[in-house]
Amino acid sequence: MTDLQILNERNGIASGLKPGEVSTGTTIMSIPYDGGVIVCADSRTSTGTYVANRVSDKLVQISDQIYVCRSGSAADTQTLTDYVNYFLNQWSLDTGRQPTVKVAAHLMRRLIYSNKDRMMAGVIVAGWDPVDGGSVYTVTLGGSCLKLPFATGGSGSIFVAGLLDSEFRTGMTKDEARTLAKKACSHAMARDGSSGGVIRTVAIDADGVDRDYTGGSELPFGPCPTW
Residue type, 156: G
In the sheet that 50-53 helps form, which strands lie side by side, from edge to edge?
A: 22-23, 45-47, 50-53
Q: Which of 2, 24, 26, 152 is catalytic?
A: 26
Strands (DSSP E) contained in the chain are 22-23, 28-33, 36-41, 45-47, 50-53, 59-63, 66-72, 121-129, 133-139, 145-147, 151-153, 199-205, 208-214
| Domains of the chain with bracketed CATH | 26-218 (3.60.20.10)
Q: Is 26 labeled as catalytic in the residue annotation?
A: yes
Q: Tens digit of pLDDT per residue, the chain (227 long)?
A: 444 444 344 444 444 445 445 555 689 999 999 999 999 999 998 877 788 888 899 999 999 999 999 998 888 999 999 999 999 999 999 999 999 999 999 999 999 999 989 889 999 999 999 999 999 999 998 899 999 999 999 989 999 999 999 999 999 999 999 999 999 999 999 888 888 899 999 999 999 999 999 987 888 765 555 44
Q: How far apart are CA 190 and CA 156, in angstroms?
A: 9
In the sheet that 121-129 helps form, which strands lie side by side, from edge to edge?
A: 59-63, 66-72, 121-129, 133-139, 145-147
